[in-house]
């Protein structure tokens, strides 16, 4: 069973139709919307500040979502995919965003809607990612604007696929907060 733990009297709150993998960890002040999924070995640590996630967010295998003590919470919008082994820390991620595998998004970053952070990118502290763009590299820089087809073809497709994948694990859906 997943590790869903209370910290300092704050218990994670999961929305409806959420999947949490049996070895995922969610602790503390975490609020998750509906149709979200937290995959194998993923960690969402709301122990030092709050983490708020919208609807249809997927935190893929090995990803870590955390925040900064008394300074920077983490806010994640709707329809967001956080790729395998990505690190999202003390930042704001707006709606319709794809954060690629192994990417790092640091404190005080703002990732505006309809954006992609490429796999392996490092978004340095305080970076503001423009809406409708792709950022890549170390440090991450804008590499191009995103077409509507890419938004529908990648961002929406991946978020929708993870809702479907989560439905395959019926016994674990709607995991209660503990």
pLDDT averaged per 10 residues, the chain (length 178):
94 96 97 98 98 98 97 98 98 98 98 98 98 98 91 91 93 48
Domain count, the chain: 1
Is residue 140 a part of any domain in this protein?
yes
What is the per-residue pLDDT for 69? 95
CA 174, distance to chain mean position in Å, is 18
* CATH code assigned at 21: 2.160.10.10
What is the per-residue pLDDT for 176? 46
What is the per-residue pLDDT for 178? 39
C-beta of residue 21 within 8 angstroms of C-beta of residue 1: no
C-beta of residue 132 within 8 angstroms of C-beta of residue 150: no
Is residue 59 a part of any domain in this protein?
yes
Is residue 177 a part of any domain in this protein?
no
Task: Give the range of the structural domain holding residue 42, as residue numbers without chain letter.
Answer: 3-168
78-84 LR contacts (CB < 8 Å, sep 24+): 78/33, 78/54, 79/54, 79/55, 79/155, 79/156, 79/159, 80/53, 80/54, 80/56, 80/159, 81/57, 81/155, 81/158, 81/159, 81/162, 82/57, 82/58, 83/119, 84/60
What is the per-residue pLDDT for 37? 98
Is residue 174 a part of any domain in this protein?
no
User: Which pTM does this prediction carry?
Assistant: 0.94
Indicate the helix (H) or strand (E) that contains 157.
Answer: helix 157-167
Is residue 41 a part of any domain in this protein?
yes
Instruction: Indicate the SS3 state at residue 162.
Output: helix
What is the per-residue pLDDT for 172? 55
Is residue 22 a part of any domain in this protein?
yes
Is residue 91 a part of any domain in this protein?
yes
Is residue 87 a part of any domain in this protein?
yes
């Amino acid at each position: 069973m997943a590790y869903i733990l209370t910290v300092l009297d704050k218990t994670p709150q999961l929305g409806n139709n959420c999947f949490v993998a049996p070895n995922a960890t969610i602790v503390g002040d975490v609020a998750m919307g509906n149709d979200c999924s937290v995959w194998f070995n993923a960690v969402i640590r709301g122990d030092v500040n709050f983490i708020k996630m919208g609807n249809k967010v997927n935190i893929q295998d090995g990803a870590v979502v955390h925040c900064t003590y008394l300074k920077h919470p983490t806010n994640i919008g709707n329809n967001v995919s956080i790729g395998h082994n990505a690190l999202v820390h003390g930042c704001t991620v707006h709606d319709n965003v794809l954060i690629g595998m192994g990417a790092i998004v640091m404190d005080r970053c703002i990732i505006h809607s309809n954006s992609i952070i490429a796999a392996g990118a490092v978004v340095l502290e305080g970076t503001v990612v423009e809406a409708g763009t792709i950022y890549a590299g170390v440090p991450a820089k804008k590499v191009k604007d995103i077409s509507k087809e890419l938004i529908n073809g990648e961002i929406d497709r991946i978020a929708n696929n993870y809702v479907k994948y989560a439905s395959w694990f019926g016994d674990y859906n709607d995991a209660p907060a503990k």
